[in-house]
């Protein structure tokens, strides 16, 4: 069975190469931590809401009228695409403005990009490494793995954030751990409050899990440094490069390989990624300013 990421991608609701956002209404807001919220949204047009599909790891361009657009991953279950969740950390103009909308309306373009590989090798293990808000594009993948539990071997989620209070999807992390379908290990940089769990970076968790390298698929999303260190650590453990996948973050504008903002060597992160197989980008991975 091929390990290449699925190529048949859902058609963007705005059309293949359109800059025109489609209105969506925010139905619910859930605070994950002090600066991150999960927004539950639905397209205003019921026909578009019915047609919309996405693959875990894909993203929308979220538009706030009069402010601009930002690339934001879907964080919800791709089996229920009529309800879309975006988990957004407030860092700049668009991500702050989403939190202060008077009418609860945003514009969406998407889905864009290439998601996580869904054609798993039967009985292969899946190890997920996520840092901070990097868990957002991986949550749909966790849902997918839980729904297809019989098709994969062991599933391990390694998650790291600054403090216990910074955890995103904290209640679900605890629920997944309790239910036992997947192994969940969380580490924090600073143990505040009554935290008694691991302290340190995500890759410090690796000695706690035994990786059967040849039969392990690795999925990583986090800050640049985590992506690099995690990918290299798994390669050092002899996980084959074509079984290591990393979701990259680049400044984006169009979403459909026209504007060049997200160019990464010969690749466009918006369309060739954001999920890349390590073997595709081995020669440029970790290089700055390319
Ligand atoms: C494929 C893809 C998927 C993404 N998914 C998500 C997601 O699910 N949730 C989410 O919250 N973000 C996500 N992002 C990141 C998001 O697109 C950026 O943070 C975006 O720049 C925010 O737009 P803005 O207008 O609010 O901030 P900007 O005006 O672009 O940035 C304002 C300031 O914040 C700084 N800044 C920007 N991004 C970051 C950052 N990540 N960390 C620290 N400082 C930063 C900039 O350097 C600048 O100084 C994703 C990015 C990509 C490429």
Per-residue pLDDT of 84-111, as tens digits, reads 999 999 999 999 999 999 899 999 999 9
Residue 76 Cβ contacting ligand 1 at under 6 Å: no
Q: Which residues contact 106 (CB under 8 A, 6 or more apart)?
A: 21, 23, 24, 26, 41, 62, 63, 64, 98
Rounded average pLDDT over 6-14: 76
Q: Write out pLDDT tens, residues 24-48.
A: 999 999 999 999 999 999 999 999 9
5, pLDDT greater than 60: no
Residue 133 Cβ contacting ligand 1 at under 6 Å: yes
Are residues 155 and 125 in contact, defined by beta-carbon separation less than 8 angstroms?
Answer: yes
Cα–Cα distances (Å) from 2 to 140, 171, 246, in that order, read 21, 35, 18
User: Residue with the nearest Cα to atom 40 of ligand 1?
Assistant: 91
Rounded average pLDDT over 7-35: 88
Residue 200 Cβ contacting ligand 1 at under 6 Å: no
Q: What percent of the chain has pLDDT over 90?
A: 77
Residue 250 Cβ contacting ligand 1 at under 6 Å: yes
Q: Write out pLDDT tens, residues 204-252.
A: 999 999 899 999 999 999 999 999 999 999 999 999 999 999 999 888 8
Residue 123 Cβ contacting ligand 1 at under 6 Å: no
User: Residue with the nearest Cα to atom 5 of ligand 1?
Assistant: 72
Cα–Cα distances (Å) from 122 to 62, 125, 143, 246, 257, in that order, read 36, 9, 18, 21, 34
| Cα 222 to ligand 1 centre (Å) | 12
Q: What is the pLDDT of residue 120?
A: 62
Q: What is the mean pLDDT of the chain?
A: 92
């Amino acid at each position: 069975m091929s390990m290449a990421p699925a190529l048949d991608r859902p058609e963007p609701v705005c059309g293949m190469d359109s800059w025109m956002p489609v209105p969506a209404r925010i139905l619910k807001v859930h605070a994950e931590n002090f600066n991150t919220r999960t927004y539950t949204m639905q397209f205003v047009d019921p026909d578009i809401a019915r047609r919309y599909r996405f693959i875990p790891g894909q993203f929308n361009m979220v538009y706030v009228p009069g402010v601009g657009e930002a690339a934001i991953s879907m964080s919800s279950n791709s089996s229920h695409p009529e309800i879309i969740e975006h988990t957004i950390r407030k860092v700049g103009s668009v991500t702050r403005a989403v939190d202060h909308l008077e009418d609860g309306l945003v514009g969406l373009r998407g889905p864009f990009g290439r998601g996580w590989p869904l054609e798993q090798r039967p009985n292969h293990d899946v190890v997920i490494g996520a840092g901070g808000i990097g868990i957002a594009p991986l949550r749909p993948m966790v849902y997918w793995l839980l729904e297809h539990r019989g098709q994969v071997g062991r599933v391990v989620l390694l998650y790291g954030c600054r403090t216990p209070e910074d955890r995103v999807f904290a209640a679900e992390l605890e629920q997944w751990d309790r239910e036992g379908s997947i192994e969940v290990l969380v580490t924090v940089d600073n143990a505040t409050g009554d935290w008694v769990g691991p302290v340190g970076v995500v890759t410090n968790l690796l000695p706690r899990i035994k990786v059967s390298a040849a039969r392990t698929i690795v999925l990583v999303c986090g800050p640049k440094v985590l992506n690099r260190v995690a990918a290299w650590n798994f390669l050092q453990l002899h996980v084959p490069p074509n079984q290591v996948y990393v979701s990259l973050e680049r400044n984006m504008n169009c979403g459909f390989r026209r504007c060049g903002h997200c160019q990464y060597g010969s690749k466009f992160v918006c369309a060739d990624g954001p999920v890349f197989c390590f073997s595709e980008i081995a020669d440029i991975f970790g290089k700055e300013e390319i």
